[in-house]
Structure 1
């Protein structure tokens, strides 16, 4: 598989996590409580072991002595075992050890008989993660794409994301058919709930700009929640762009291919525009102004190739609040 991939520049130095792996609550988990009441904010890094920009950020904030002024702040290094395998010469191989940790969060999986590094770690972390009032899962992307926040379907999560303003693009979706993401746990996604979970994709893996985006987003969440003042100047807040996925395109054949290179965040003006061929089938835009969410030019059969989204109308944006 890696032979099919182009070389990727690794601008970021992998962080030294050794001072933080013991944790003060669980291995790789640091939690601090303020004297004043407030929300429990959880920042999660390293769901994927090769996406270490978020871990670099949390290690930096731990080193700086970041503490909450209200409520509780928890910083999580989710999969340090996979991260320990990171090799800049083959940077994609340390995504996980046994299976994708962002597809294991369904009860049938967590309560099932299977064993593995990611599953056991998820089982250990679950009670803590589900105690969050606000959870931000820090990620990055392999292929070129504009940064974005993914919320799942709950409008309360979209509302939180829109108030952050960085990155300004916010996309609601239904998740993946191959397994439940952390942000889609029922405690965060059930209608009428109060807890909210966001996933921020800060940019390409291993790029300095990605770290800056993740830092701005996490700092905005801490400030907006009143939990803490992160050691970062207030970021410039962009005008939110809210969208929802209308179709998730899954490759049904090994012959899936886009008709040209597409960048995540690209908007295709006209409905019916040909995007890709999947064997004999044609994949076309279902509506005007179709937003391409994280297209993957090397897609295996059964995996998501791209998500197609529409921007919310002004009255829908107003209803989000």
Structure 2
């Protein structure tokens, strides 16, 4: 999520702040990588897929870094194929300050809006584009990618899979989190999970993105770690009994697939919801007023409308909410 933070508490300087309830790990031992800066890659003797788990696409979403830091320190290794652990926007993470935790999402621009060929091969320059161009050849060798994210605004955890049926099937097979959302991404740019090698019709690769919960909460770290462990076990990339991984849950809720029917992009600086909706909330009736974008009314397009990650303070050009219906 990219909007300014809500008023949680105010410091003496009047700067809006949010509580950070987890510690940002010391990544200095891992910044060099063994494949690229910030990228650690380990091969097993037995053949298998190349699986990559990615953290810090947004430099202030530190929960994913907590998970990868723990796995690296514990010595997690694959038993087949290749396992790669990627710290993406390490420059932005280097600026993370728990006293101003939203400021280090990126340095110049959002690293998760750059993953189309025209942008990657064009003449524009920025800190994030430079990093994307370094990572691009590496990601082109990945078979299955899990991108770890967290959220600013209150929402139930969910998995985003773009429009790839392969990604949706994979996410549903994991069951953690149980809500899987097929969507079109953002008008402002293409995400890593939508990069062509992962979505091309003739490809057998897949990329999924978990939005694991609120930024800077221990429960979000736990959801990310459980999702990552489920992926590695499902793909048989690791020993399923490896004690480094959190235990598999004894029982999981039935997974649900929802398809986005409308992505609402804010067009006016006055975009506002009629009330503070929570992500995962279902609006029972069609044509319910949800928000005003200047003079334009935003209404639910169908009954049982799922609100996906509403951003309660949105700038023009940003995604305000995705509206979805359940499938099956």
Q: Same fold (TM over 0.5)?
A: yes
Aligned pair partner of 1:238 in 253, 257, 267: 253
State which of 107, 113, 120 in structure 2 corresponds to 1:110: 120
The alpha-carbon deviation at position 237 of structure 1 amounts to 2.6
Q: Is residue 158 from structure 1 mapped to residue 173 from structure 2 by the alignment?
A: no
Is 1:283 aligned to 2:298, yes or no? Answer: yes
TM-score, length of structure 1 as denominator length: 0.95
Q: Which residue does the alignment assign to 1:57?
A: 67
Which runs of 5 or more structure 2 residues have no equivalent in the other structure?
9-16
Give distance in 2, aligned partners of 1:214 and 1:131: 23
2:289 corresponds in structure 1 to 274
Preserved CA contact (<8 Å) 1:164 1:237: no
Between 233-242 and 248-257, the greater mean CA deviation after superposition: 233-242
Q: Which runs of 4+ in 1 moved over 6 A?
A: none
Contact 2:187 2:265 (C-alpha < 8 Å) held by counterparts? no
Q: Deviations over 1:86-141 (max 9, x none)?
A: 11111000000010000011111111112221111110111111211110000000
CA distance in 1, matches of 2:311, 2:54: 24
Residue number among 259, 265, 268 corresponding to 1:253 in the alignment:
268
> CA 1:81/1:283 → structure 2, altered by over 3 Å: closer, same or farther?
same
User: How many residues of Structure 1 are paired with residues of Structure 2 in the alignment?
Assistant: 313
Query: Counterpart of 1:311 in 2: which secondary structure?
Result: strand
Aligned-residue offset at 1:262: 0.4
Evaluate the alpha carbon distance shift between residue 93 and residue 56 of structure 1 in structure 2; reply closer, same or farther with a 3 A threshold. Answer: same
5+ long unaligned stretches in structure 1: 314-321
Equivalent residue number for residue 48 of structure 1: 58
The partner residue of 2:87 within 77, 81, 106 is 77
> Where does residue 208 of structure 2 map in the other structure?
198
How far apart, in 2, do the equivalents of 1:274 and 1:286 lie?
A: 10
For the pair 1:292 / 2:296, whether they are aligned, the reply is no
The question of 1:312 aligning with 2:327 is answered yes
Superposition RMSD in Å: 1.2
Number of the residue aligned with 1:10:
20
Matches within 5 A, 1:126-141: 126-141=136-151
* Matched position secondary structure for 1:197: strand
Work out which of the residue numbers 201, 212, 221 in structure 2 matches 1:211: 221
Question: What is the CA–CA distance in structure 2 between the aligned matches of 1:70 and 1:169, rounded to whole Å?
Answer: 29
**Structure 1 counterpart of 2:11:** none
Q: Specify the SS of the correspondent of 1:26.
A: coil
Matches of 2:253 and 2:75, distance apart in 1: 29
Bigger drift between 233-242 and 46-55 goes to 233-242
1:184 to 168, 179, 194: 194
**Whole-angstrom CA distance in 2 between matches of 1:308 and 1:199:** 18
* Alignment TM-score, normalising by the size of structure 2: 0.93
* Deviation digits for residues 146-182 of structure 1 (CA, Å, limit 9, x no counterpart): 0000000011100000000000000000111111100
1:220 aligns with 2:237: no
Deviations 1:223-265 (A, max 9, x none): 0001014521113432101001000011111111101110000
Distance 1:221 1:2 in 2: 32
Cα offsets for 1:42-83 (capped at 9, x unmatched) = 000000000011111001000000000010000000011100
Which range moves more in the overlay, 263-272 or 184-193? 184-193
Equivalence for 1:318: none
